[in-house]
A and B are shown apart, each in its own frame.
Chain A
């Protein structure tokens, strides 16, 4: 994983299909404090593509989107 940023919290939505990964991430992000890092683990392709976009629209920063395996992604979000 050799990531220099340490996530404050992790949200594991693997197994969930659209729109749950997106909705759960949005809800989680709203509860977190500014500057905190949220790590989201998901395995739904469409959400991996679209969730970062909607999170960016909310004003948060996507630090990293990485593919961690077959159909699995890890996304790091920095709360604004």
Chain B
């Protein structure tokens, strides 16, 4: 997803962005359908505006330095890339340092326990209003800020995004030759197939986990936390998710004949480590990485994720401009 945003300014390449937009639409409809039917409760993240802006922005910078966001780094580890492995180590360290270590004061300053903006209405979140939630205790979404039915926003946003996607559909050639097996495992997927697939994975994840859909960085933080403390209770849904991604990527790369242990030069390794470190700090301060915000939070219409996501993209653009476009 780093590439999706970076390449907009770097190469005027929108293919990956289209897949992301479609995945958001699919999930937005899916999440709200399931919430309306009572299968899940939407769980938008708390709106700490300072944390979203700062955390999101440095996360965006970090993912360009690390040459991949948290999820990109994760699957590249599975493909045998040592630069991403080093970035991953940085990510885990940066995260734990911020959530419970030397940088914890910065985190508590930007995520005040009191005074975070909350919405007054709770019924439109798909939660039972009689349930533990008091007035003014719901995390902000586009819907409850305006006191409107979330479906109004779901329908409007879906129509706008789909219209743009259909209008801009041409441009990239579709590869048609090859067997079905080759198409699935050896070639890059069409953007719309990818978008729908990711969307469906997100919906299944939310149904299975109940509390949230997809997230990557949190899984790695608890992985290292569990290793250090020796407490298996620290392992969570996201940990198994990221381990699954590494194994899945390794298998897929093996089938495609692309698995290979490889490493960039020393300077790039250091750069990727620092990038990972910055991403880890940003993900904990901003309460999620790009997957947790843009892919899982935005479809829930969470204001926190919309703001955090915007600043992740902004940080990414600023870093990409400085690193690749000048000179």
Known: A15-B263, A17-B68, A17-B83. Is A45-B256 also a contact (CB below 8 A)? Answer: yes
Which residues on the B side are within 8 Å of A67 (C-beta)?
257
Does A17 lie within 8 Å of B3, measured CB to CB? Answer: no
Assembly CA distance A16 to B67 (angstroms): 10
Interface residues of A in 12-33 (CB under 8 A from B): 14-20, 22-23
Whole-angstrom distance between the Cβ of A26 and the nearest chain B Cβ: 8
Q: Which of A49, A53, A70 is the one whose CB lies under 8 Å from B259?
A: A70
Tell yes or no: B76 within 8 A of A by CB: yes
Which residue of B is nearest A16, CB measured?
B264
* A69–chain B nearest beta-carbon distance, Å: 8
Query: In the bound complex, what is the Cα–Cα distance between A41 and B256 (angstroms)?
Result: 19
The one of A14, A49, A72 that contacts B188, using a Cβ cutoff of 8 Å: A49
List the A side residues contacting B6 at CB < 8 Å: 19
The chain B residues found within 8 Å of chain A, CB to CB, are 3, 6-7, 10-11, 13, 67-68, 76, 79-81, 83-84, 172, 187-188, 253, 256-260, 262-265, 268, 320, 324
| Interface residues on chain A, number (Cβ under 8 Å) | 20
Q: Write the nearest CB–CB distance from B11 to chain A, whole angstroms.
A: 5
Q: Taking CB as reference atom, which chain B residue is nearest A69? A: B260
Residues of B within 8 Å of A43, CB to CB, are: 260, 262
Add 7 more A-B contacts to A20-B264, A45-B258, A46-B188 (CB < 8 A): A15-B262, A15-B265, A17-B67, A17-B83, A19-B324, A54-B11, A71-B80
Residues of A within 8 A of B263 (CB): 15
* With A16-B264, A17-B76, A18-B68: A71-B258 Cβ-Cβ less than 8 Å: yes
Q: Is A80 close to B, CB under 8 A?
A: no
Would you call B259 and A23 a contact (CB within 8 A)? Answer: no
Interface residues of B: mostly helix, strand, loop or mixed? loop
Q: Cα distance A16–B321 when bound, in Å?
A: 19
Can you give 26 A-B contacts (C-beta < 8 A)? A15-B83, A15-B262, A15-B263, A15-B264, A15-B265, A16-B268, A17-B81, A17-B83, A17-B264, A18-B3, A19-B320, A22-B11, A23-B10, A43-B260, A43-B262, A45-B258, A46-B3, A49-B187, A54-B11, A67-B257, A70-B257, A70-B258, A71-B79, A71-B80, A71-B257, A71-B259
A58's closest neighbor in chain B, by CB? B11
Q: Lowest 8 CB-CB distances: which A-B pairs, in order?
A: A71-B260, A71-B258, A15-B264, A17-B67, A45-B258, A23-B324, A54-B11, A70-B260
Residues of B within 8 A of A19 (CB): 3, 6-7, 10-11, 67, 320, 324
Enumerate chain A residues within 8 angstroms of B258, measured Cβ to Cβ: 45, 70-71
Q: How far is it, in angstroms, between the C-alpha of A45 and the C-alpha of B172 when the chains are bound?
A: 18
Find residues 26-69 in chain A having any chain B CB closer than 8 Å to their own CB: 43, 45-46, 49-50, 53-54, 67
Which of the residues A17, A49, A72 comes within 8 Å of B260, measured between beta carbons? A72
With A19-B324, A45-B79 already in contact, the answer to whether A50 and B259 are too (CB < 8 A) is no
| Closest residue on chain A to residue B73 by CB atoms | A17
Q: How far is the CB of B323 from chain A (nearest CB, A)?
A: 9
B residues in contact with A54, CB < 8 Å: 11, 13
Task: Determine the chain A residues whose CB is within 8 A of the CB of B262 once the complex forms.
Answer: 14-15, 43, 71
Beta-carbon contact of A20 and B256 below 8 Å: no
Rounded to whole Å, the gap between the CB of A15 and the closest CB of chain B is: 4
Q: Which residues of B contact A18 (CB under 8 A)?
A: 3, 67-68
A20, B264: Cα distance in complex, Å: 10
Task: Considering the complex, give the chain A residue whose CB is closest to the CB of B261.
Answer: A71
- Chain A residues near B3: list those with CB within 8 A: 18-19, 46
Q: Which residues of B contact A16 (CB under 8 A)?
A: 264, 268
